[in-house]
Chain A
Amino acid sequence: MASILKVDELRGIVSAGDITVTSEGGAATQSLQQGLAKAWVGFNTITSTSIFDSHNVASLTDNGTAYTTINFSSNLNSTGYSLTASAGSASFRICLDTVGSNTDLTGSCNTYATRTDNGSGLDFDKGSAAIHGDLA
Chain B
Amino acid sequence: MASELRLTTLANNAGTESVDTTYVINGSAKAWVDFTTITTTSARDSFNVSSLTDLGTGSTTITYSTSMGSANYAGSYYTGANDSGTSYNTFNNDWTGGFGSKTSSSVIAGSYNNSFVDSHKNDVVVMGDLA
Residues in A lying within 8 Å of B, measured CB to CB: 2-8, 10, 13-14, 21-25, 27-28, 30-32, 34-37, 66, 78-86, 95-102, 104, 112, 114-121, 130, 132-134
> Using a CB–CB distance below 8 Å, which chain B residues touch chain A?
2-3, 5-13, 15, 18, 24-26, 28-30, 32-34, 36, 43-45, 47-48, 66, 69, 76-81, 83, 85, 88-92, 111-113, 119-121, 123-125, 129-131
Q: Which of A2, A31, A83, A121 contacts B123 (CB 8 A)?
A: A83
Chain A residues whose CB sits within 8 angstroms of the CB of B120 once the complex forms: 100-102
Across the interface, A25 reaches (CB within 8 A) one of B80, B123, B129, namely B129
Q: Would you call A23 and B69 a contact (CB within 8 A)?
A: yes
Known: A21-B25, A119-B90. 4 other contacts (CB 8 A): A6-B12, A98-B79, A102-B120, A120-B89
Q: Say whether A133 contacts B45, CB under 8 Å.
A: yes
Shortest distance in angstroms between A115's beta carbon and chain B's nearest beta carbon? 8
The reply to whether A3 and B6 contact each other, CB–CB distance below 8 Å, is yes
Determine if A6 and B90 form an interchain contact, defined as CB atoms under 8 angstroms apart.
Answer: no
Residues of chain A lying within 8 A (CB to CB) of residue B29: 34-37, 132
In this complex, the member of B44, B113, B130 whose beta carbon has the largest number of chain A beta carbons within 10 angstroms is B130
Contact B129 A34 (CB under 8 A): no
> How far, in whole Å, are A124 and B61 apart by their CA atoms in the complex?
31
Alpha-carbon distance A68/B16, docked complex (angstroms): 33
Residue contact B112 to A24, C-beta cutoff 8 Å: no
